[in-house]
Amino acid sequence: MSFTDRGIEPAEGFTGPGFVVRPLTVADNALDYEAVMASREFLYHWEQDPPYPPEDFTVDDNRVDLEKMHAAHQGGSRYTYTVMSADASVCLGCI
């Protein structure tokens, strides 16, 4: 059962001082990939099996991940948001 089936609607996002939080989409691929690779060492040791991202992780692999996350968001089973700089030129991470 999805969150939306339970009556839980996702937030549209919000703006804070110097950042914007909004749903993650496939269009965010290039900036999101940069953020993933900049955080690679932290992410690699996070509790995931197999470790993420793998040694040979590419921008295309990231796009596939974003497609899955976007579909889950649309389906109401998981909500993933990107955190962007206020001018949307830098992905600061995701939640």
Is residue 17 one of the residues assigned to a domain?
A: no
The phi, psi pair for 16, rounded to 5°, reads -125, -175
Question: How much is the pLDDT for 47?
Answer: 63
Is residue 16 one of the residues assigned to a domain?
A: no
Give the Cα separation of 52 and 55 in Å (integer): 8
Is residue 77 one of the residues assigned to a domain?
A: yes
Is residue 14 one of the residues assigned to a domain?
A: no
Domain range for residue 70?
Answer: 4-9+26-94
Number of domains in the chain: 1
Per-residue pLDDT tens for 33-81? 999 999 988 888 776 777 888 889 999 999 999 999 999 998 888 999 9
Q: Is the distance from CB of 23 to CB of 79 less than 8 angstroms? A: yes
Give the Cα separation of 90 and 95 in Å (integer): 15
Is residue 44 one of the residues assigned to a domain?
A: yes
Is residue 89 one of the residues assigned to a domain?
A: yes
pTM, two decimals, is: 0.87
Is residue 33 one of the residues assigned to a domain?
A: yes
